[in-house]
Homo-oligomer: A and B are copies of this chain.
Amino acid sequence: MSTYNGRMERADAARNRARILEAAARLFAERSPQDVTMDDIARAAGVGRGTLYRRYPDRAAIAVALLDEHERELQERLLRGEPPLGPGAPPAERLAAFYAAMVRLLEDHSHLVLGSEVGRTRFETGAYGFWRAHVRVLLDAAGTPGPDALVDVLLAPLAPEVYRYQRTVLGLTPAQIAGALAGLTKVLGS
């Protein structure tokens, strides 16, 4: 940290990045993400417009950065964690565990996810690709026919808009939603 060798981030840059992330997290938490403008974030962070755009081209990029560590942690557990989330359990049980973990993640960070994944951009994030690969592996392991089309069908209910609607408008509990998702594991039976 004491020496600067050309690949490290400059001190003022690091400070501003922290400010931006902190301010964005606060704003995303307190109101609907699509009502938070880039201007708002820049002002709340105490940086200029240009500084903000230098790092994050849009709201989605900021939300992705905020989500990053949570997603990484879940991805890590999926790959190398204990069963049933990690390898070792039967595909149907692993899928159910995955659903439960995703409900947890949506519950804790749905405002962030909503900020990052608006409609079709959802499919373009790296995270979606990861969830997709994971479910695809489970389908293959279960020998389910026609896995290509089924993958996205099984992931669709995890769209943040859907979760948000179920929680907020319908007043369902996370447990109820997780229960319904667990029911989807029946389709794995070949």
**A binding-site residues for B, Cβ under 8 Å:** 118-120, 122-123, 144, 146, 148-150, 152-153, 156-157, 159, 161-162, 164-166, 169-170, 172, 176-177, 179-181, 183-184, 186-187, 189
Contact = CB atoms under 8 A, between A and B. Distances in A.
Secondary structure at the A interface, as helix, strand, loop or mixed, is helix
A172 B153 contact: no
A47 to B, nearest CB: 29
A72 B179 CA distance: 33
A189 B149 CA distance: 22
B123 A169 contact: yes
A183 B170 CA distance: 26
B123 A180 contact: no
Contacts of A172: 148-149
Contacts of A165: 120, 123, 152
B146 A176 contact: yes
Given A157-B157, A184-B184, 14 more contacts: A118-B119, A119-B119, A122-B161, A144-B183, A146-B176, A148-B172, A149-B166, A149-B176, A150-B180, A152-B170, A153-B157, A153-B180, A153-B184, A159-B162
Contacts of A146: 176, 179-180, 183
Contacts of A187: 183-184, 186-187
